[in-house]
Amino acid sequence: MKAMDLRELSRDELEQKVQEFKRKLFNLRFQKVGGELDNTAELAKTRQDIARAMTIVREKARGEER
């Protein structure tokens, strides 16, 4: 997901997205161990999505503090 799309979401929606990405990563790891995962690049993409969303959550939190 692009950062521009994530910036349009509210803080609560972003936190829900982070949880959604974490569940996806958890499932992908199980698929990898079970030999069912065809595209291992999906793991890295999901980790990047988590980091991107968490960064925007932190930016919004810092903006509210000021």
| Ranges of each domain in the chain | 3-65
The phi and psi torsions of 39 (rounded to 5 degrees) equal: -110, 95
| pLDDT band per the 50, 70, 90 thresholds, residue 64 | confident
User: Is the pTM of the predicted complex or chain greater than 0.85?
Assistant: yes
| Cα(43)–Cα(24) distance, integer angstroms | 9
pLDDT 10s digits, 24-34: 999 999 999 99
Is the pLDDT at 66 greater than 90? The verdict is no
For the chain, the distance separating the N- and C-terminal CA atoms, rounded to the nearest angstrom, is 28
Asked if 26 and 47 touch (Cβ cutoff 8 Å), the reply is no
| Cα(46)–Cα(41) distance, integer angstroms | 9
CATH number of the structural domain 3-65: 1.10.287.310
